[in-house]
Amino acid sequence: MRAADKGDTGELLRKAMEKFGKRFQGKVAIVTASTQGIGFSIAERLGSEGASVVVSSRRQNNVDEAVEKLRARGIEVLGVVCHVSNAQQRKNLIETTVQKYGKIDVIVSNAAVNPSVDAILETKEAVLDKLWEINVKAAILLLQDATPHLQKGSSVIFISSAAGYQPLASLAMYGVTKTALLGLTKALAAEMAPDTRVNCIAPGIVPTRFADFLTSNDEARMAIEEKILLNRLGTTEEMAAATAFLASDDASYITGETLVVAGGAPSRL
């Protein structure tokens, strides 16, 4: 079975805009690793619903291209270069946002790496350090910088993965770091309540550059789709829709939760 094509998801997005309108009007949202893939679609969705969005990634040209695309869609956007493992760049991301917009209402922590497909017990220490530093530690440190500027009623969303529940052999240690985000969501929801809600999205496999090694091979892709109740891979727009829900006031009584968005793929009870 095919993944939902751009026409399908584009039409769903248009209908959603008509239904939900401007849920983020007057809000300021930071999305890390947001110049392509899931992060870009999240920034686009929040911006389409009225947010001023701040996009970031490690490379200036990627940031510039994302900003141009979003502005062409009528979205108020600021682009900042930020490698989340760089302390000064994290601080600059927050400071630049506050200087321009005066506050922060939504933070979507999307940055992640998977530099190895080795078994856990064969993974080099430097790779273990990189996985933990970017996938978990940097998310905490970014919030430490951002917390003084978060508004009452603000929302934090971590982008985990269904692999946090069911790690694939080729994504084993990556899956463990994503499991850590599930616990971090619970812990920070308690710590940041009642003024800030903290939730998590656990996407299934979505065809992006990040997941290309899993989805570019037709045989491997079909094997994955056979295990999904909806018989297809997800789309970046579908992950963005779920993120927008949890970040919005429609989810005002939800905190400390993880929403699995995986088409019915095996995840949890």
Among the listed residues 200, 86, 76, 186, the one whose alpha carbon sits nearest the alpha carbon of residue 145: 86
Amino acid symbol at 172: A
Helix, strand, or coil (residue 57): strand
- pTM exceeding the 0.95 threshold for the entire prediction: no
CA distance linking residue 76 with residue 248, whole number of Å: 18
Answer yes or no: 253 catalytic. Answer: no
8 domain residue, yes or no:
no
Residue 2 gets which letter from DSSP?
P
Which of 251, 266, 252, 109 lies closest to 180, judged by CA?
A: 109
Backbone angles phi, psi at 58, to 5 degrees: -75, -25
Contacts of 185 (CB under 8 A, 6+ apart): 158, 160, 198, 199, 200, 256, 257, 258
Say which of 101, 165, 174, 253 is annotated catalytic: 174
Residue 9 lies in a domain: no
Q: How many domains does the chain have?
A: 1
In a domain, residue 29? The reply is yes
- Tell me whether residue 15 is in a domain: no
Q: How far is CA 160 from CA 111, 179, 263, in A?
A: 10, 7, 16
Q: What is the pLDDT along the chain (269 residues), one digit of tens a residue?
A: 454 555 665 666 566 556 668 999 999 999 999 999 999 999 999 999 999 999 999 999 999 999 999 999 999 999 999 999 999 999 999 999 999 999 999 999 999 998 888 999 999 999 999 999 999 999 999 999 999 999 999 999 999 999 999 888 878 999 999 999 999 999 999 999 999 999 999 999 898 776 666 667 777 778 888 889 999 999 999 999 999 999 999 999 999 999 999 999 888 76
* Residue 233 located in a structural domain: yes
Give the residue from 21, 53, 9 showing the smallest Cα distance to 34.
53
* Residue 11 is assigned to a structural domain of this protein: no
CATH classification of the domain holding 142: 3.40.50.720
**Residue 14 domain-assigned (yes or no):** no
Q: Range of 232's domain?
A: 24-261
